[in-house]
Amino acid sequence: MEEFALKIRHLTKRYKDFALNDVSLELPAGSIMGLIGENGAGKSTLIKSVIGAVKPDAGEIEVLGCDNRSAGFTLKKEEIGVVLDEACFPAALTVRQVNRVMRDLFKNWEEKTFLDYAERFALPQNKAFQEFSRGMKMKLAIAAALSHRARLLILDEATSGLDPIVRDEVLDVFNEFTREESHSILISSHIVSDLEKICDYIAFLHKGELLFCEEKDLLLERYGLITLRRDAFEALDKRAVLSAHDTGYGVQALVRRELLPAGMKAERAAIESIIVAMAKEGKK
C-alpha cells in the first residue's frame, strides 16, 4: 500500500481570469482530507486536475502511486470513485440501467453492493434518473462511486444541496468507507461543519492559493477563541489575533494560542471561524 493516496506537487493552472498557483499537498493513505474554499477558490479546478479532466500548466499529480499523465492511470481509475458536483449520469437511465452500464465499465463492479446502497438510500429502481430529486441523484452517484472497490474517493461538492438528514446519512457512509485502512477520501465542500465532522486533514484554498493543509486536530490546537474586556484585548500581542469583534460586553477574538500570555486559556474554535477569519484577512 502507498504511503500517500494523493500527492500534488506545484500544481499550476492558469485561466484568463483565474489561476491555481503552485499548489502542493499530500493526502496520507487511510485518511480524509477536506478541501475548503469560497466559490472560485480553485477547488473544482484542483479536483478536475487530479482526475485528468483539466490539463495543468505545471506540476505533478500522483494518485494511488500512479502519475495521472501516464498510460497506466486509466487502469488506476478502477480504484478511484468520483462524485462531481452534479451526478453526471444520463438522465434517461434508471438505477437498474446504471447498474448494467457500470457493470460493463468497471472490472470490479459489485452489483450487490450497488443495489444494496440503492435500497439503503431508498432509490427507486425503475424510475428514470431525470425524475430524481437532487438528493437522490447525488446518492445514486455516491452509490456508484462506492460499488467498484475504490480505494480513493474524490468528491467535489458531493454533499451540497442535500438536506441535513441526507447529508448526515451520506457522511456516515463516507466514515464507514474509511474504516478500511487503505481507503482515503478527498472531499471538497462549502459546508465546513460537514468537513469538520469527518476530516483528518483540512486544506484551505483561497483565490487559487493553498493557504494551508494541516491536520484538523493541529489546527484546532493552534487556534482558539477568547473573550476579553476591551482593555485586556488591547494589551494582547497583535500578532496573536487572527480576527476580533466587539460583542458589546467585550471583545471576542480568534487567536494563535502560542502567542497568548502564559496562563491565558482559549476555548476550542470551530474550523469554520478559523477559515472565515483567514479568508477575510487572506493571511496564514
Question: Residue 141 is which amino acid?
Answer: A
Question: Does residue 206 contact residue 38 with C-beta atoms inside 8 Å?
Answer: yes
Q: Is residue 92 part of the contact set for another protein (CB under 8 A)?
A: yes
Q: Of 24, 40, 57, 107, which one interacts with another protein (CB under 8 A)?
A: 107
Question: Does residue 135 contact residue 163 with C-beta atoms inside 8 Å?
Answer: yes
Q: Is residue 10 part of the contact set for another protein (CB under 8 A)?
A: no
Q: Which of 280, 274, 271 is nearest to 253 (CA)?
A: 274
Least separation in angstroms between residue 209's CB and another protein is 21
| Site for another protein, residues 142 to 171, rule: CB under 8 A | 154
Q: Of 1, 105, 218, 259, which one interacts with another protein (CB under 8 A)?
A: 105
Q: Is residue 101 part of the contact set for another protein (CB under 8 A)?
A: yes
Question: Residue 207 is which amino acid?
Answer: K
Q: Of 2, 22, 38, 86, which one interacts with another protein (CB under 8 A)?
A: 86
| H or E element that contains 241 | strand 241-246
The x, y and z cell numbers of residue 256, run together, are 494563535
Least separation in angstroms between residue 228's CB and another protein is 50
Checking phi first, is residue 248 left (phi over 0); if not, alpha (psi -120 to 50) or beta?
left
Residue among 82 and 170 whose Cβ is closer to another protein:
82
Q: Is residue 225 part of the contact set for another protein (CB under 8 A)?
A: no
CA distance 249 to 257: 22
Strand partners, 253: 226, 244
Binding segment for another protein among 18-26, 48-56, 244-252, 264-272 (CB under 8 A)? 48-56
CA distance 184 to 80: 10
Least separation in angstroms between residue 107's CB and another protein is 8
Residue among 103 and 197 whose Cβ is closer to another protein:
103
What is the contact surface with another protein in residues (CB under 8 A)? 48, 51-55, 74-78, 80, 82, 84, 86, 88-93, 97, 100-107, 128, 154
